[in-house]
């Protein structure tokens, strides 16, 4: 089968690899669509393991069913989770399945930028989601990123009618905006360095979109009846954005660090000025649980979020390298989908 092998963001090669053979409890899925995630282009996170077949936002069709697999059959249309929890460890039983050791080790074989993937038995058991007829394969590539966004807003104690500031209006920021709008947020303010993405933020639900170069806490207060943001979601790893977030959160509010910084970055924080007597909360979020995947699929099926309108590029497997350049360059693209059958 053909696969797109990632060596770095400027070197992605279409190569041949044997089609995976499945065993008992496993599934073979023909990939119909696979989204390029912002984390796919984080070279510092992956270069020491290259070459890799990446791609974890996938949807496709079951073509082979291993012995003992009861719920699924050839021809089923599915979205799948690459990371799944054990459901029995301390972290899972404490309601934190995304920090489970098993979740961090599980994956499918090889990755979504391939014609086929093999789903191990544990992924089949708790990481396969049947697609309703009304949900296209392209729509279903948003299940994984939306699951992450759902968990993030839950961790950040999202509440309707509150003011939200989203720093960074790439695909994650736009999904946060859309979800918050669907769930009844009050005023939503978005920032970015890209005019193209600021326009997208307005189109997908932000009340105000401000260039990061022009943004300040004072400007936020002017637009928000003298108050800062109840919830700040940071969707970029830029240090300036982190500092901006800490200056822009209201008393009693929360900052959600949704994107990682570069390795080794530390930010000095004044406990007295930022936290003492202000009840501000800082939190992070990683990945999504199987329940989050299921909830994300329900939202997509119900058309609560216009995810299809976010797709700007549909590429064949041979164009995967172009897709990586588009996502890494963060210019005039939003969601880039690779369709191996093209």
pLDDT in tens, 241-260: 999 999 999 999 999 999 99
- CATH superfamily, with its number, for domain 2-147+287-339: Medium-chain alcohol dehydrogenases, catalytic domain (3.90.180.10)
Is 273's pLDDT higher than 90? no
Tokens of 159: 């509440």
pLDDT digits (tens, 9 = 90+) for 125-180: 999 999 999 999 999 999 999 999 999 999 999 999 999 999 999 999 999 999 99
Contact 82, 269 (CB under 8 A): no
pLDDT digits (tens, 9 = 90+) for 37-83: 999 999 999 999 999 999 999 999 999 999 999 999 999 999 999 99
Q: Around 181, how many Cα atoms within 13 Å sit in the side-chain half-sphere?
A: 22
Other Cβ atoms within 10 Å of 301 Cβ, number: 15
Sheet with 208-211, strands from edge to edge, namely: 208-211, 188-192, 164-167, 229-234, 249-257, 281-284
Is 235's pLDDT higher than 90? yes
pLDDT of residue 330: 82
Distance, CA of 111 to CA of 90 (rounded, Å)? 29
Confidence band for 342, pLDDT divided at 50, 70 and 90: confident
Tokens of 194: 């890209």
Contact 106, 87 (CB under 8 A): no
Distance, CA of 274 to CA of 243 (rounded, Å)? 11
Other Cβ atoms within 10 Å of 201 Cβ, number: 28
Domain ranges in the chain are 2-147+287-339, 157-284
Is 331's pLDDT higher than 90? no
Contacts of 231 (CB under 8 A, 6+ apart): 156, 157, 158, 162, 163, 164, 165, 249, 253, 254, 255, 256
Q: How far, in whole angstroms, is CA 14 from its chain's centroid?
A: 25
Contact 68, 24 (CB under 8 A): yes
Please give the CATH architecture assigned to the domain spanning 157-284: 3-Layer(aba) Sandwich (3.40)
Overall average pLDDT of the 117-122 stretch: 98
Contacts of 241 (CB under 8 A, 6+ apart): 167, 168, 212, 234
Evaluated on CA atoms 1, 61, 336, 38, the torsion sign reads negative
């Amino acid at each position: 089968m053909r696969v797109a092998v990632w060596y770095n963001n400027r070197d992605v090669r279409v190569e041949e690899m044997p089609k995976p053979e499945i065993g008992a409890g496993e599934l073979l899925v023909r990939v119909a669509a696979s989204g390029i995630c912002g984390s796919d282009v984080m070279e510092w996170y992956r270069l020491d393991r290259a070459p890799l077949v990446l791609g974890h936002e996938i949807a496709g069709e079951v073509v082979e069913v291993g012995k003992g697999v009861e719920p699924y059959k050839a021809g089923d249309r599915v979205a799948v989770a690459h990371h799944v929890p054990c459901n029995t460890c301390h972290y899972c039983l404490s309601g934190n399945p995304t920090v489970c050791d098993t979740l961090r080790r599980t994956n499918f074989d090889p990755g979504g930028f391939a014609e086929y993937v093999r789903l191990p038995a544990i992924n089949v058991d708790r990481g396969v989601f049947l697609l309703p007829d009304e949900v296209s394969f392209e729509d279903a590539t948003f299940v994984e990123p939306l699951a992450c966004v759902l968990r993030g807003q839950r961790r950040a104690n999202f509440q309707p009618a509150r003011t939200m500031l989203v720093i960074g209006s790439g695909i994650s920021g736009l999904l946060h905006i859309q979800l918050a709008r669907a769930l009844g947020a009050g005023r939503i303010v978005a920032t970015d360095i890209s005019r193209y993405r600021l326009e997208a933020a307005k189109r997908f639900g932000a009340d105000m979109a401000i260039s990061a170069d022009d943004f300040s806490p004072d400007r936020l207060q002017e637009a928000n009846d003298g108050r800062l943001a109840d919830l700040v979601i940071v969707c970029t790893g830029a240090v300036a954005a982190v500092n901006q977030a800490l200056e822009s959160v209201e008393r009693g509010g929360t900052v959600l660090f949704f994107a990682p910084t570069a390795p080794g970055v530390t930010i000095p924080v004044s406990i007295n000025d930022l936290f003492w007597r202000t009840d501000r909360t800082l939190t992070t979020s990683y990945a999504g649980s199987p329940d989050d995947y299921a909830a994300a699929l329900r939202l997509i099926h119900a058309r609560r979020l216009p995810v299809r309108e976010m797709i700007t590029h549909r590429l064949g497997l041979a164009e995967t390298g172009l897709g990586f350049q588009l996502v890494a360059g963060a210019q005039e693209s939003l969601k880039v989908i690779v369709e191996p059958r093209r």
